[in-house]
Amino acid sequence: MALIDTGKNKVLLLGIGDYGSTNRADTEIKTMALGSCVAVVLLDPKTKTVGMVHVALPDSNIQQSHRTFKPGYFADTGIKILLQDMKRFGSSGVLSDMYVKLAGGARVIKAEGVLDIGRRNIEAIKNILIENKIKPVAHDLAGVISRTVTVEVKTGIVRLSCPGRDDWFI
């Protein structure tokens, strides 16, 4: 994770498995080239806090045979740690208090079943939302698009970009 000052605004840049949050209106939170990963964006309407986590895999239990990696890397631990982080700005830490936007979860052409990690990521995240009785307010998921995701803290608008395509928004 890195905070970059462009002169015009500040950009909190998240790498794979990173999470970050802020309530500063002059800041954007950004993560690059999402492949099958999913960016989970949480917007807290009460405190105007915005958070993002860059989820790469659906389930942290896979780590059993490896050393522990970043909690933000997995859907289950990633959403939890992001909610925790947003408490620094007075957020409740309760998922159902948030608006949720999702982007990513792509695949390569004709990839199905075993190869479709993007779909498993999306399902894992949607299941967590269902358990908490909420739905995303906006999403841009699946397909064969490598998305770069930027959320503007001031408005909560998420800009999506991809080399060779015009930007779009959710």
Partner 1 sequence: MISEEILAQIKKTQKFSDAAIKLMHVVNSVNYSANDIIEIIRYDSKLTAIILKMVNSAEFGMRRKVDSIKNAVSMMGAKKILDIAQEIYTRMYLNKPLSGYESDGMWQHSLRTALAAAQLAPLCVKPYDTEKAFTAGILHDIGKNVLSNFLGNTAHSFIDNIDRHRLHDYLEAEESKLGTNHSEVGELLAREWQLPEFICQAIKHHHKPSLAEEEFKPIAYIIHMADIAAMLSCSDQGSDSLLYEVDTTYTDYFHFSGQELEEIILVIDMECEQIQKTFAEIGE
Within 2-91, where are the H helices? Answer: 75-86
Rounded to the nearest whole angstrom, what is the least distance from the CB of residue 122 to partner 1 in the complex?
A: 13
Rounded to the nearest whole angstrom, what is the least distance from the CB of residue 46 to partner 1 in the complex?
A: 31
Residues in the chain: 170
Nearer to partner 1 (CB atom), residue 111 or residue 138:
111
Nearer to partner 1 (CB atom), residue 98 or residue 124:
124
What is each CA distance from 100 to 74, 95, 103, in whole angstroms? Answer: 17, 9, 10
Residues 3 and 70: their CA atoms lie apart, in Å, by: 19
**Which residues are at the interface with partner 1 (CB under 8 A)?**
15-17, 31-37, 54, 56-58, 62-63, 65-67, 69, 73, 106-111, 113-115, 117-118, 120, 144-146, 162-165
- Annotated catalytic residue within 29, 34, 37, 55: 37
Nearer to partner 1 (CB atom), residue 162 or residue 170:
162
| 41 exposure class (CB count in 10 Å sphere: 0-12, 13-18, 19+) | buried
Residue 162 annotated to the active site: no
Task: Tell me which residues are annotated as active site.
Answer: 37
